[in-house]
């Protein structure tokens, strides 16, 4: 019973991620496959990692990718992109919890949230995803990186503000659940 509330919150964030990623985002095809997806679908996964911990962020990203692929397939299943989705949820959680080690911030700083998001963007959006697109489909980095860089800069600027705005209401639900269980 102790983990039921975080699991339920993660499930809601997975559902929200699937909706935002698969049905409320703009897709840019490069060479006949999706080269970049512009939207806020990874935001719920990052929220899971930041609020509940990196493991929940990892699971939220992985399950959102798998469920999204089942509901809205875009070609065959690629476990590489499940890994990138999972890391997009886990990395912000790791960075945020490392920066806030020993404290439970009632009001997270924009700097900590920004660093958490920036690390995920640099490692996943600017690193792993282009690498996989290049190695699997032969996409030239010169074609895919400019759009990814612009999208990443916007993500780094916007996501921390949105995360800060929704952190307290979601954290209250999670903390209330922990108090009831603890």
Query: 175 is in which domain, residue-wise?
Result: 4-181
Query: What pLDDT, on a 0 to 100 scale, did the predictor assign at position 139?
Result: 84
Give the integer Cα–Cα distance in Å for 36 and 28: 5
- Is 85 a residue whose pLDDT tops 70? yes
- Is 140 a residue whose pLDDT tops 70? yes
What pairs with residue 36 in β-bridges? 28
pLDDT tens, position by position, 104-114: 656 789 999 99
Give the integer Cα–Cα distance in Å for 143 and 154: 19
Mean pLDDT of the chain: 87
Can you give the CATH number for the domain in which 160 is found?
1.10.1760.20
Query: What pLDDT, on a 0 to 100 scale, did the predictor assign at position 107?
Result: 76
Query: What pLDDT, on a 0 to 100 scale, did the predictor assign at position 178?
Result: 54
- Is 182 a residue whose pLDDT tops 90? no
Query: What pLDDT, on a 0 to 100 scale, did the predictor assign at position 1?
Result: 44
**pTM reported for the whole predicted model:** 0.87
Total number of domains in the chain: 1
Mean pLDDT of 162-169: 88
- Which alpha helices (DSSP H) does the chain contain, by range? 4-18, 43-52, 54-71, 79-99, 110-120, 129-137, 141-181
- Is 73 a residue whose pLDDT tops 90? no
């Amino acid at each position: 019973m102790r983990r039921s509330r975080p699991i339920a919150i993660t499930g809601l964030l997975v559902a929200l991620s699937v909706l935002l990623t698969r049905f409320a985002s703009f897709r840019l095809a490069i060479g006949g496959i999706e080269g970049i997806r512009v939207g806020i679908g990874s935001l719920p996964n990052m929220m899971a990692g930041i609020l509940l911990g990196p493991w929940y962020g990892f699971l939220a990203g992985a399950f959102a990718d798998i469920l999204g692929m089942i509901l809205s397939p875009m070609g065959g299943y690629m476990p590489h992109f499940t890994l990138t989705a999972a890391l997009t949820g886990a990395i912000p959680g790791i960075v945020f919890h490392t920066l806030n080690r020993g404290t439970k911030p009632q009001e997270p700083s924009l700097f900590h949230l920004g660093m958490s998001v920036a690390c995920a963007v640099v490692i996943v959006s600017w690193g792993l995803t282009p690498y996989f697109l290049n190695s699997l489909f032969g996409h030239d980095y010169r074609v895919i990186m400019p759009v990814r860089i612009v999208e990443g800069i916007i993500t780094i600027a916007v996501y921390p503000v949105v995360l800060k705005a929704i952190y307290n209401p979601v954290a209250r639900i999670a903390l209330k659940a922990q108090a009831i269980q603890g």
